[in-house]
Structure 1
């Protein structure tokens, strides 16, 4: 038999352990989805410098494919949406620090990003490429040798370009897409590496550049970013995406903003 004081101590510790174990499931159950449904509001990070996926309209409000997708998800969840403008550089940190519940911002999936965040199924098509004036002969990656190339820091194009471009290509990194495009349009660089949709907007607004597609960097459908461990929210969003795909809504969104349907997207 233990002394009376020892028995009391052991009973006290056992009680504390039981209390902690009883509280643990409740704390674990309070997921991002629980919070969203309780608040009746979801915070979604979207781009405002990347037309047609996300940019500021004439009424100074965000518009674009990613904005429409954010609204679609909020509507399906039956909650209000708070749109949080982000750049390529801060969209993942905003998710990790819980400033945003979801990131819908032309986010490609790769092994590096999968180490720090989770992804839903794809919701829209996207591909990155190298573009330059027609007068500039670029038919292979070797042809970028000695040329200046603009790219947005931290974007998928930046990551992939580092693997493909020759070592003597001068890659100039800018903090957001507006700065990247401005550098190309103003002649600070010879070549630009961007998403095809952005390039299309540049071509339409600056026909004098004679800009054209040169090299495919990567086919990279867009996925929605979710914080690690938020499996309930990810499953809910996946269900919304599956329903929207079956109903033809993803095709309609892509047709509206990209001029072509979403087609077959990966889960």
Structure 2
């Protein structure tokens, strides 16, 4: 009995030893084991590429062809292209924020975005709240009426004339100077629709916006420009008053874009070859 047990133990030990040898050999053949694990630990890990910083610019998103939402729900336009080019030259990604125009300066002062690049005219009142870049384009205030209107020039307006303007713009001041009544709307799409519906005697907006509306909006061919520019406007990018470093960098880039023709190219793209970037 004892001899049989001894024999069984001896055979079991031999089987266990053989299994251990095969197991070690298998690990070695597969390239696993402590040596490989150590080698893997010693391999330098590829460092993740740092994400680009983001610069954010704001506009109303309802001001074609400067900044507006297209059929793909993308914000596009002259202002957006200028913003993208500035971001590229800064080595940054660009985020374009759309927000109500009447609160856009307060949003900048609260630092919800880095700048306002939305066709904002440089005025003394605004310069008390924000700092502006050098000009990036020039335009002016224009009266628009229906072609069959009795109003042919701004001098034809009366105290009873109701003129539509976008809220938060400087155009309400023009209406007041002309002795007419200003009625404000969220954007120029609404003002021009109200004009076509007969609820307004006219609209005062940016001349380029007016020309674009005549070409692009439904029944735009019923509209016409009444007289010459009421005044010229100079457009700049607004920055928070304590962000001199960014403003100075953007000024240098805008100067480059004026000199190398980039602003002229962007203007030609959106305005049928017309250059609105030169005074």
Using the size of structure 1 for normalisation, the TM-score is: 0.78
Unpaired runs of at least 5, structure 2? 1-50
Would you say 1:76 and 2:92 are equivalent positions?
Answer: no
Over residues 22-55 of structure 1, what are the superposed CA-to-partner deviations in whole Å (9 max), with x where a residue is unaligned?
xxxxxxxxxxxxxxxx971111112311110011
* Partner residue, 1:149: 163
Deviation of 1:197 after TM superposition, in Å, equals 2.1
Deviation of 1:200 after TM superposition, in Å, equals 1.7
Deviation of 1:135 after TM superposition, in Å, equals 2.9
Deviation of 1:75 after TM superposition, in Å, equals 0.5
Deviation larger for 242-251 or 204-213: 204-213
Q: Distance in 2 between matches of 1:239 and 1:89?
A: 29
Deviation of 1:229 after TM superposition, in Å, equals 2.2
Which residue, 176, 185, 201 being the options, matches 2:187? 176
Would you say 1:237 and 2:250 are equivalent positions?
Answer: yes
Which residue, 50, 61, 64 being the options, matches 1:48? 61
Structure 1 residues 211, 264: closer, same or farther in 2, change over 3 A? closer
Q: Distance in 2 between matches of 1:224 and 1:210?
A: 30
Aligned length: 225
SS in 1 for 2:134: strand
Would you say 1:96 and 2:106 are equivalent positions?
Answer: no
* Partner residue, 1:200: 211
Q: Distance in 2 between matches of 1:100 and 1:243?
A: 24
* Partner residue, 1:4: none
Which residues of 2 match residues 105-116 of structure 1 at below 5 A?
Answer: 105-116=118-129
Deviation larger for 136-145 or 62-71: 136-145
Q: Distance in 2 between matches of 1:239 and 1:115?
A: 23
Superposition CA RMSD, Å:
1.9
Over residues 85-138 of structure 1, what are the superposed CA-to-partner deviations in whole Å (9 max), with x where a residue is unaligned?
023212211111101101001100111001000000111222221111233343
* Partner residue, 1:190: 201
* Partner residue, 2:268: 255
CA contact (8 A) 2:52 2:93 kept: no
* Partner residue, 2:11: none
Unpaired runs of at least 5, structure 1? 1-37
SS in 2 for 1:121: coil
Structure 1 residues 111, 246: closer, same or farther in 2, change over 3 A? same
SS in 2 for 1:241: helix
Question: Relative contact order (C-alpha < 8 Å, sep 6+): which is higher?
Answer: 1
Rg larger in 1 or in 2? 2
Structure 1 residues 140, 58: closer, same or farther in 2, change over 3 A? closer
Using the size of structure 2 for normalisation, the TM-score is: 0.75
Deviation of 1:59 after TM superposition, in Å, equals 1.2
* Partner residue, 2:227: 214
* Partner residue, 1:135: 148
Structure 1 residues 180, 210: closer, same or farther in 2, change over 3 A? closer
Deviation larger for 218-227 or 152-161: 152-161
Which residue, 87, 110, 116 being the options, matches 2:100? 87
Structure 1 residues 136, 70: closer, same or farther in 2, change over 3 A? same
SS in 2 for 1:98: coil
CA contact (8 A) 1:47 1:53 kept: no
